[in-house]
Structure 1
Amino acid sequence: MPFHHNERLSFQPFDEWGEVRIYYNGFLPHWRQDGCTYFVTFRLADSVPEGVLEAWRCEREQWLRTRDIEVNDDNWIGTFRRLSRNDRKLFERYFVSKLFQTLDEAHGSCVLRDNQLAEIVMKALLHFHTERLECGDAVVMPNHVHALMTPYPGYELEDVLHSIKSYTSNQIHARLKTKGTLWMSETHDHIVRDGEELLRIQNYIRVNPDKARLPDGQYLLHTAEYDLQL
């Protein structure tokens, strides 16, 4: 079932000189700047095997130690922030690429392979469109979700995502008659820097099902167009 917005969405590039808020909640940094568009990924709690997570932890510790950062140090995040911007980008890109590759391997229960359950998630994403945010391209894969989101003033991205995760978790558990943690608590989000990057991310979202070799009926795709000045 395809979804598409007819209206063209606005896009504000990242302002390198503007105010930026950075916080850490787990593995990766989260950057915030008012008015920006974010490439968001959230995943099911069982989507990455524990053995893979442990291997990532070891690799992360080794990467940081080569830069004189000990993760057992309570202030390691503060030390990490003092690395060069290039090093921080390399860190994020490397580990995010490993995450995306692993997600496309479709580990875990993959309950979102069920189109009716995937539709619960997609409709929740679009429910807040024009109310709390603009929702651009989005895809619901068997064990994860990618989406472009632009929160409106007064709404924080993490608060909107919490609402989406909470609602969809309750609805899916009710359908499956299950309990427990459905979604991984941490969400990956990346501020879209400019129009060219936006187009690359739109293409990534749109071809993700083909890249993961998913047949029709095992994913839901929503597309949108942006008003870009390239």
Structure 2
Amino acid sequence: MSKAVAYILPLLLLQLLSIDLSMGYSALEDAQIIAEYKSHMNDTNHAFVARKLVHQASWAAVGSISTNEKIKNYPMVNIISVDDSDLNGSSTGRIHFLLTDLDFTGPDWQHNNKVTFLFTDDENLNCKQRGEDPMEPTCARAIISGRVKKLSTESVDYNDWIEAFKARHPAARNWLKAHNFYLCELQIENIFVLDYYGGPHDITVDDYFNAKPN
């Protein structure tokens, strides 16, 4: 049984059970449910959805394994400002962010260099405007896991990345001066996109970078 079928069957069963039995069985309604799901599967470029969510995001929720003594080895969640733009404001797909060792995520990644970023279409209240709850599958989200890479100030692209980040986040100019922030990039390893009923879609890193949201 494919993953897609495994995810959709429980949904179909729930929808079927919600039908008023006094009205009798409706093969037509069943067919409409299945047709809608298949249409979405065929029409949606999930890698494009991931790139779009990343590019429109000013921040992401980031999960790490905590080094804080009170919750050591528990998951820690933080809000991190992000940017994937080049100097022209175009999407690159490369997720850049500033960290400081004065915050939670800074010490955490140096102990266990695995993190997960969550991007949601409701960051800009897009889902709310459509009347959707942020938890509903139709409110698109991308869950991107990987490893933190601290970028070298000697890199030929470093100044460009910093300037692009500051253009998106003007407050970062003060952070860099006062709080020993350093620029990082997520080395992407796994991508899941949930943008409809039927469960998450596993997106390859190559497909993600080949998608062009601009």
The TM-score range, normalised by the shorter chain, is: under 0.3
**Larger strand proportion of the pair:** 2
Larger Rg: 2
Higher relative contact order (CA 8 A, sep 6+): 1
